[in-house]
Structure 1
């Protein structure tokens, strides 16, 4: 009998310990609810994004649960954190406590070997490869080609028109720039088919990952396969051209990636790494720059004083050029005020609302446990609209960025931060500045719709921002 009691007692000790441990772990989790399986708070969050009330949606969570709370987004348990300290915590622990695994819907559409997914040495290797093309020293040689693409766009879609819709045209422009500069795909049926598949693909990136017929997610997965097939054919063609020495290793991003070997061990990028990172670059260059240019045009229509100052700066540059001469890298450095206006647009209307990381080990923040495998979510507007960081945040004030060193670290995060700061920053800067230069010096415009916008998840102004355009008189 004593032996039986002892056996039962010894059996119950680990059970008791396990239950106690689970209870303590549960007590250390942030407050909040995970909601329904798979769906969680995804539909509520996406609905708030579309209604442009996502920041208020998060503020209500903060008021209810405090600065750290749990929820479920896109099929995974998630901890929401916010503020300057939270941004610093996430960016400084990247690769040690967190990895940049994206939601399942994003990962299956874009592939698992893209720079958003990789960590450690793999991330450094792929990022270094991309930066060989995207660094300023390399991009200088492509300013003229980007200038030519933008002039062609305005000639085809603006000149001779009385009314245009800005956002779809800007997406058309940025995709054509990507095809030309990054992929070496000229105008024609191939480019048209690629952009059509690409548009279907990106529709489901931020969606509930339910792979059933007729769902947005299902359509995006099918489109992703088509895009990858087309890109694979393109990569094969570029590889043959390089082997036959009929193209330059710096002709475009694809030839650059194909020609790169790791300095230490001469390891080439895998085909999956090339394909998946091309797709990420496509999305980054297509969506973000087109949104920023659209909201710049919207702002300039609403703010005559800012428009006048931008126009004056750009006309001075235009006067320094001979007829038909392309802009050069040196001209972009003179567009200081225009870039400060752009930075303030990125503060008030960041194209990307927030970001995700995945905990690779149990991690503590704010006195709470973030379990291994859970997502961490933070939202960019939470610091961009913080009055203690940016006084009177509802006011549009480009002077905030006259001295960028005065902006507190980890507060302006439109391009991310830490080791994962956007590698395409300089590419986007060139694209935006060259585009605005020709738009403000060649046209005037006025809005044909209200100033409202929604997020899907990128900001989309009412009706895509229809405007009436008038050609400007030639400068004396």
Structure 2
């Protein structure tokens, strides 16, 4: 009896060790190399993006290593995954296993309490607060204000010009819309001060986090600090106005977030979370919408039949309005073809090239292990340009989105997907449709620069997409 017990106690650790080794041997790391410490493949990826060969760079990895591979990006060991299943894991994976986590450079510049960094109940709490302002029911009342901003922009920056650089102008427009509608900031000088620091801040978001005076990363950190100081002043002003009851909760996004209270009358969103999420909204709204509008102008100039169909739809809406009458929510609902053009533009030129998550636990994915603590890297173009999902992917064809239920889930991810769909997608839709309406009904244009663009990290066309513009006669 004693011998049996002794033998059993001796064998148990041996059996456990053998079982553990067998289990580990079946959970191998994906193929690939982590490269040089800290730098890894970061410079190669950034170089590929800035020569607009990022998709080819990733495709080469797929050809070499298969659907999953390991590498090192921005100082962290990383697993690259792609395809419909990968997108589903990224956007609707088990929150106990996978969480939002951006690169060290993005986290340092935007702050660690923004929506891209939060998970679980914190993510839901802050997201719900943002969505309460950005949902369609709330945004309906701001269509007239967007209309006013677009008209003012065209009067200032387009009227009387022979040539314009589209991307800088679209960035100017979206930044002014964000400042006016989301932050309640009307003074032009105040906006210009923000814009100068903001543009310097975003330049280093995709950079190797080496803090030396001459690096992009360091310049962006300094600009981020200045932006945060300006925003802190703005938030304090909103607090005072709320206390004095000279502001209403739905007046702008900052006031809305400050007004959110739980059942015990405690603030739902902290000052730090408000600050960091304002910065996130600034970056997301400024870059994505401006890139979408710019590349819509580019693709419309290259596709006369699509341009003609958009023009016809927009002229019918314009003819139903009296002179100077602003667009309404109902007008936007009629712009179905124009929004399909926008969706196809986003498919072909997604403003967000790729994104990151973090594994909170060991994850079995296919035949491989994604270790706890590693970054997960995904790229939207991998499904957007997959010919098995979108036939002839290089062809610009808005008809792909006539019946959106025919698009397989988690394959078109310009706005994310599932529970992690971008809370600002409706805001982007409204400002894009309003801007395109006035541009297409008031001007015709042709490209003056070549058709190339780079990613830095968003798409940037040569010369900012230089256009020769001709005003249309007012009817």
TM-score range, shorter chain: over 0.9
1:128 equivalent to 2:128? Answer yes
Q: 2:415: which partner in 1?
A: 415
Residue 31 of structure 1: SS of its match in structure 2? coil
Conserved? CA contact 1:129–1:260, under 8 Å = yes
Residue in structure 1 matched with residue 154 of structure 2 by the alignment: 154
Q: CA-to-partner distance for each residue in 1:141-183, whole Å, 9 max, x for gaps?
A: 0000000000000000000111111100110110000000000
SS in 2 for 1:248: coil
Q: 1:262 Cα deviation (Å)?
A: 3.2
CA contact (8 A) 1:410 1:417 kept: yes
Q: CA deviation at 1:435?
A: 0.1
Question: Is residue 114–residue 277 contact of structure 1 (8 Å, CA) maintained in 2?
Answer: yes
Change (3 A) 1:256 1:61: same
Please, which runs of 5 or more residues in structure 2 have no aligned partner?
1-9
Look up the match of 1:303.
303
Matched, 1:439 2:436: no
Task: Name 1:33's counterpart in structure 2.
Answer: 33
Tell me how far apart the structure 2 counterparts of residues 186 and 413 of structure 1 sit (CA, whole Å). 34
Render the CA deviation track for 1:440-469: whole Å, top value 9, x for unaligned: 000011110111111111011111101111
Structure 1 residues 25 and 127: CA distance shift in structure 2, 3 A? farther
User: Match of 1:28, SS?
Assistant: coil
Contact 1:347 1:384 in 2 (8 A): yes
Alpha-carbon shift at residue 24 of structure 1 (Å): 4.0
Q: In the alignment, what sits opposite 2:357?
A: 357
Q: CA deviation at 1:96?
A: 2.2
For the aligned residue pairs, the C-alpha RMSD in angstroms reads: 1.8
Report Cα offsets for 1:261-315 as digits up to 9, x if no partner: 2358744311000000000000011000000000000111111111111000000
Deviation at 1:37, TM superposition (A): 0.6
**Given that residues 42 and 208 in structure 2 are in contact (C-alpha distance below 8 angstroms), is that contact kept between their aligned partners in structure 1?**
yes
**TM-score, structure 2 normalization:** 0.94
**What is the match of residue 325 of structure 1?**
325
1:194 aligned residue: 194
2:313 alignment counterpart: 313
Contact 2:39–2:208 (8 Å) recurs in 1: yes
2:68 paired with 1:77: no
Q: Provide the rounded CA distance (Å) in 2 between the counterparts of 1:89 and 1:246.
A: 46
Partner of residue 452, structure 1: 452
Residue of structure 1 in register with 2:184 after alignment:
184
CA contact (8 A) 1:25 1:369 kept: no
Cα distance 1:336–1:71, how it changes in 2: closer, same or farther (>3 A)?
same
Q: 1:263 to 1:81 in 2, by over 3 A?
A: farther
* Partner of residue 3, structure 2: none
Q: 1 CA distance for matches of 2:72 and 2:263?
A: 42
Q: How many equivalent residue pairs?
A: 462
**Secondary structure in structure 2 of the residue aligned to 1:85:** helix
- Distance (Å, rounded) in 2 between the aligned partners of 1:262 and 1:117: 22
Q: Distance in 2 between matches of 1:89 and 1:137?
A: 30
Q: Note the residue ranges of structure 1 that are not aligned, 5 or more in a row.
A: 1-9
Query: 1:25 offset after TM fit, Å?
Result: 6.2
SS across alignment from 2:364? strand
Preserved contact between residue 443 and residue 470 of structure 1 (Cα < 8 Å)? yes
CA contact (8 A) 1:161 1:469 kept: yes
Separation of aligned partners in 1, 2:264 and 2:410: 33
Alignment of 1:103-118 (within 5 A): 103-118=103-118
Question: In the alignment, is the contact (CA less than 8 A) between 1:442 and 1:472 conserved in 2?
Answer: yes
Counterparts of 2:154 and 2:264, CA distance in 1: 46
1:59 counterpart = 2:59: yes
Task: Provide the residue aligned with 1:50 in structure 2.
Answer: 50
